[in-house]
Chains A and B, each alone.
Chain A
Amino acid sequence: MSPLFMTLVLAVGLAIFGRTMYQRILLLMALEPADRFNHIKDRLKNMVVIALGQKRLVGRKKERASGIMHALIFWGFCVLLIRSITLYGEGYVHGFQLPLLGESSILGYLYLTLKDVMEGIVLIMVIYAFYRRMVVKPPRLHNTWEAYLVLGLIGVLMVSDLLYDGARFMLITAHGNPGDLHYFNNPTFGQEFLWTPVTIAAGNVISGFSPVGLERVMVLMFWVHIITQLTFLNLLPLGKHFHVITSLPNVFLKHLGYPHEKIKLLDLEDESVWEDETLGVNHLHQLNWKQGLDLYTCTECGRCKEVCPTYVTDKPLNLHDFNDTLKAELYANADNLILRAKLAKTLTGDAEADAKTKEKMAVFKPEKALVGEVIALDTLWACTTCRACEQVCPVTIEHVPRIIALRQGQTLMQGEYPEELNTAFKGLERNGNPWGIGYDKRADWAEGLDVKLMADHPDAEYLLWVGCAGSFDDRTQKVSKALVKILKAAGVDFAILGTEEKCTGDFARRAGNEMMYQMMATENIEVLNSYKVKKIIAACPHCLNTLKHDYPQMGGHYEVIHHTDFINQLITDGKIRVKKSLAGVLTYHDPCYLGRYNEIYDAPRSILGGLSNQGLSELPRHGTESFCCGAGGGRMWMEETIGTRINVERSKEIVAEKAETVAVGCPFCLTMIEDGMKELDKDEQVKTRDIAELVAEHLA
């Protein structure tokens, strides 16, 4: 077309884009390190399935329509990327063709068709997207000018390319190609327009134009397309559409093995960490670069808040606002963070020399306190760590570890946390349980049940980890007793630790109290390792999760089995038999730490299916999208004073399903849902039972 103009446009467009990206990358590099470049094969697989395959967009039934819409626009864009290269080439060489995709190969023709059809589809999807935003207005979306602008730009990109080709089509086929335009015309495959139905349709729209008019439309649409595309590219890093660039890397770099980045094992003995406030996230620069990339990538689609138990019960935690606020703060302090990081690199380890550098670094501190001013305390403490948000996030943002790191800063450094936690922390410190009941009463529940202690039977095949609730809470003690009945019926060789067991430290860790967690973990691991424990059965998913995933960081390696998995195996192996005699409507509430954290969904269902004489009926929110009871992340020990109560919200859902029995597999869920039923005055109609209790009652 015009090599000079093309060069100018490209130079300006790419230079500005390059500068923005350079700043964005420098900012990420100024943040803390994160190790995300191992297991490349697994990472590529995630990228293909989740990002390229749009798994979380298309895969959710509830969001299928918008998911397909997004996937088609995305796939359309991928296809058009190749077309763009051809167009840039056209700026320099008339009739530019890409190798393999030229007119000599069928591939070239197939690509033309694909591109043509995708452009049509994307255009329809853009219209649908406008319709959704303006008419349907799904509550999770918040309409911004940016959203409309970007949709508009996508529309312009499609229309301009189609009209450009349409004008070419008309000039070549209807007007005898006066400008001697190049087009595919292979003797085997014919004219390119035989392959492009949408282009023909576009050509027909402008068929009334004279050859001169058509030529002008063609040139105009060419440059509109090129300039729109470069404008679009430059707009991307400025707003939520940065995800167009960052999603693929973000999914590629997602945490592997455990659903999200594990809580960092902090070195609490190092005195300098206490002086320098380097435990947890107290300041922006303490976020790691992957957490920064998460913020860049947040699409503000609102799926996270829609499934968030706190948001739907009117708590102030709104995850996409949370991300947006942090991102804005990150950008506002970008220059300072980059300068600070440069200085940090010059730290020598020599206290005297470093003191001066640290003084200079302190100058670059953001004006606002990260927690308290940027993020409100109530927002930070609302989270139940249920991971529903992470499970649905299409771009695999890890919200929970960031919240816990911020809580660590608050609990360890500032001493700012909900007052109610004091009692639970004190109980943990003195008696190894959040209730603060005398530690020596820990095995009282087992009195008269003839349960062996590890101290008397150190060779037991299984250790039954009872947990604090199972030991001290009157209601949950019944679950412990039921489990003992089952294990005895199956002839399992097991023992308990009795007074040697302490809280695993789960809630303390998730409330940011790493010190209390490490105290508990150290003592527990010491005891477990002294007995050479290998296999542990736990009836509490929080205990299970901590024993299984947190303790290895401190030298505790055990095979940890949830009681539902264990019972299911006992049934399968014929070690126990159950009667299919449970009457009435039975439903199951998936505990977050059992399901989303440990992917145990089937065992509980398999057991319940074998008990109920009318089969298990599922709740609307179940499986990976189960709704939290409200007790995770230390929330069990905090007051819930804002909005409506999470457990009541869940209980209403259970009542609405006309359930007569709701089965759970977690002591916290048991307490929360039973309380919810009492609150609704439905505790007589709907019985909340642990799966172990139901099995024990229906043993054949």
Chain B
Amino acid sequence: MKILTTVKKVVDVELNIHVENGAIVEKGLQYVINAWDENAVEAAVQLKEANKAETTLVSLGSGDNTDIIRKCYAMGIDNAIHIDDPALAKADSPTFAKVLQKVYEAGDYDLVIAGKQAQDTDAGQAGIMLGEFLGIPCVSNVIEIKVTDDTHIQVSRLGDAGTEIVDVTLPAVITVSDSINEPRLPAMRGIMMAKKKKITVMDLAGLGTSVEEIGGTAPTSGIVEFMPTQKRKGGQKFEGDPAEITAQVVQLLVNEAKVL
């Protein structure tokens, strides 16, 4: 089985993100692998360990992703491709999906595993669109994968009402939830040894496509403006005799908050 797994480098959301004049302040930001994609990589490596699969990682972006790719190698990925093109700097979900489609078509994959969404945009579309563009089955929010045979897998999907168990014909795309696994922290040795592993870097032309073909010149959506989240106002403290305070609070709830 050949597995393609996708990763995106995103802003570390643990940090305070500052917005000035409708744009994110770049200073002080740091970038990390998208957490859900880490789950996808882990899922791919686990399938490989259990079923003799070959795993290929594709990372998209504009710029160097060597650090995160090396870690994925250390986790156990076999091959890595990085599509590095300035045209991808402001790409939206359909554009990413189109590039992934090209990568998929250039290989001979049986299964695509992607994170269900990216931490930066939380769109959750690229994986599903990829399935649509390729005309192959897609299951989202997967929490378990079992290989039935060469042409079928059975996945558990976290639905609103409970867990759905879905039989999927390969090739297929699945997007995984973060509860599917706990990504391993690769051994230091693995990271150091991964330095020697080759990363295939190509731009859109190298992939046999162009900005026009993937719709990058006229994206279907774009960010107009960022706005900082409103800080929550501090609560109000009341001290003193409980009977007096109760009356005071009730009065405020009726007249000011107008909730009673």
Contact = CB atoms under 8 A, between A and B. Distances in A.
B30 A426 contact: no
Contacts of B184: 415, 422
B187 A440 contact: no
A440 B189 contact: no
A274 interface: yes
B190 interface: yes
Interface stretch (A85-93, A406-414, A578-586): A406-414
A36 interface: no
Contact of A430 (B32, B182, B186): B32
A419 B184 CA distance: 9
Contacts of A78: none
Interface in A467-514: 499, 513
Most chain B CB inside 10 Å of its own CB: which residue of A268, A412, A513? A412
B188 A515 contact: yes
Interface string B172-211: 0000000000101111111111011000000000000000
Given A425-B185, A438-B14, A268 B32 contact: no
B12 A415 contact: no
A419 B181 CA distance: 13
Contacts of A268: 188, 192
B14 A437 contact: yes
Interface residues of B, number: 20
Contact of A412 (B16, B30, B187, B195): B187
A430 B14 contact: yes
A414 B187 contact: yes
Nearest to A512: B188
Contact of A426 (B185, B189, B192): B185
A637 to B, nearest CB: 13
Nearest to B186: A415
Contacts of B32: 430
Given A412-B188, A414-B187, A415-B186, A430 B193 contact: no
Given A274-B193, A275-B193, A419-B182, A411 B12 contact: no
B259 interface: no
B185 A274 contact: no
Contacts of B196: 271
A412 B189 contact: yes
A279 B191 CA distance: 14
B16 A441 contact: yes
A439 interface: yes
A436 interface: yes
A430 B195 CA distance: 20
Contacts of A436: 14
Nearest to B15: A438
Contacts of B240: none
B187 A413 contact: yes
Contacts of B190: 415
A440 B30 CA distance: 10
B76 to A, nearest CB: 11
A426 B38 CA distance: 13
A431 interface: yes
Nearest to B32: A430
Interface in A632-674: none
B188 A513 contact: yes
Interface string A265-296: 00010010011010100000000000000000
Chain B binding surface SS class: loop
Nearest to A410: B187
Contacts of A415: 184-190
A437 B12 CA distance: 11
B234 interface: no
Contacts of B15: 431, 438-441
Nearest to B187: A415
A352 to B, nearest CB: 19
Contacts of A274: 189, 192-193
A539 B110 CA distance: 57
Contacts of A413: 187-189
Contacts of A441: 15-16
Contacts of A425: 185
Given A268-B192, A274-B192, A440-B28, A422 B185 contact: yes
B178 to A, nearest CB: 14
A83 B251 CA distance: 100
Contacts of B14: 430-431, 436-438
A411 B188 contact: yes
B3 to A, nearest CB: 22
Interface string B27-48: 0101010000000000000000
B188 A271 contact: no
Contacts of A277: 189
Contacts of B28: 440, 499
Interface string A391-417: 000000000000000000001111100
Contacts of A513: 188
B198 to A, nearest CB: 16
A430 B12 contact: yes
A107 B41 CA distance: 82
B229 to A, nearest CB: 15
A438 to B, nearest CB: 4
Interface in B110-140: none
A279 B188 CA distance: 11
Contacts of A431: 12, 14-15
A510 to B, nearest CB: 15
Contacts of A414: 187, 189
Most chain A CB inside 10 Å of its own CB: which residue of B15, B16, B32, B189? B189
A30 B95 CA distance: 62
A430 B30 CA distance: 8
Nearest to A435: B14
Contacts of A271: 192, 195-196
Most chain A CB inside 10 Å of its own CB: which residue of B28, B185, B191? B185
A515 B190 CA distance: 12
A439 B190 CA distance: 27
Contacts of B16: 438, 440-441
B62 to A, nearest CB: 22
Nearest to B12: A430
Contacts of A430: 12, 14, 30, 32
A422 to B, nearest CB: 4
Nearest to A426: B185
A431 B189 CA distance: 22
Contacts of A439: 15, 30
A613 B115 CA distance: 62
Contacts of A440: 15-16, 28
Nearest to A514: B188
A279 B16 CA distance: 38
A289 B187 CA distance: 28
A412 B185 CA distance: 11
Contacts of A419: 182
Nearest to A427: B14
B7 to A, nearest CB: 16
Given A412-B189, A415-B188, 7 more contacts: A413-B188, A415-B185, A426-B185, A431-B14, A436-B14, A440-B28, A441-B16
Interface of B: 12, 14-16, 28, 30, 32, 182, 184-193, 195-196
5 contacts: A268-B192, A412-B187, A413-B188, A431-B15, A515-B188
Q: Which 6 A-B pairs have the closest CB atoms?
A: A415-B187, A438-B15, A438-B14, A422-B185, A274-B192, A412-B188
